[in-house]
Amino acid sequence: NAGVMQNPRHLVRRRGQEARLRCSPMKGHSHVYWYRQLPEEGLKFMVYLQKENIIDESGMPKERFSAEFPKEGPSILRIQQVVRGDSAAYFCASSPSPGQYFEQYFGPGTRLTVT
């Protein structure tokens, strides 16, 4: 009964370092979404991926951020040369195979702190 898994749950990085956030979708789910949530704010869409394919990255910053969802293994959100403004909770969500009305289920999130 494994839900969406994310690791690490907490990540501390110094300015200029790289952050790698991992997301394993629910069993049977092939779609992954990444969101960023700043303290006391809402969920901001970043990117939507299927296996080996980026479907929509309209919410991704143009620089330093990238995401992938390989054929094998978890989806990874990578943030290069982190800055203090990257500190936030990053949630991924997964959903099953295509359909107009599919639900998405969230992981527990990774809380990134940039010092």
Where on the chain is the footprint of other proteins (CB under 8 A)? 33, 35, 41-45, 48, 55-56, 58-59, 91, 100-101, 103-109
- By C-beta, is 17 or 54 nearer to other proteins? 54
Count Cβ atoms within 10 A of the Cβ of residue 7 and give its class: 0-12 exposed, 13-18 middle, 19 or more buried. Answer: middle
- By C-beta, is 17 or 50 nearer to other proteins? 50
* Cβ at position 76, least distance to other proteins in Å: 19
Cβ–Cβ under 8 Å, residues 16 and 29: no
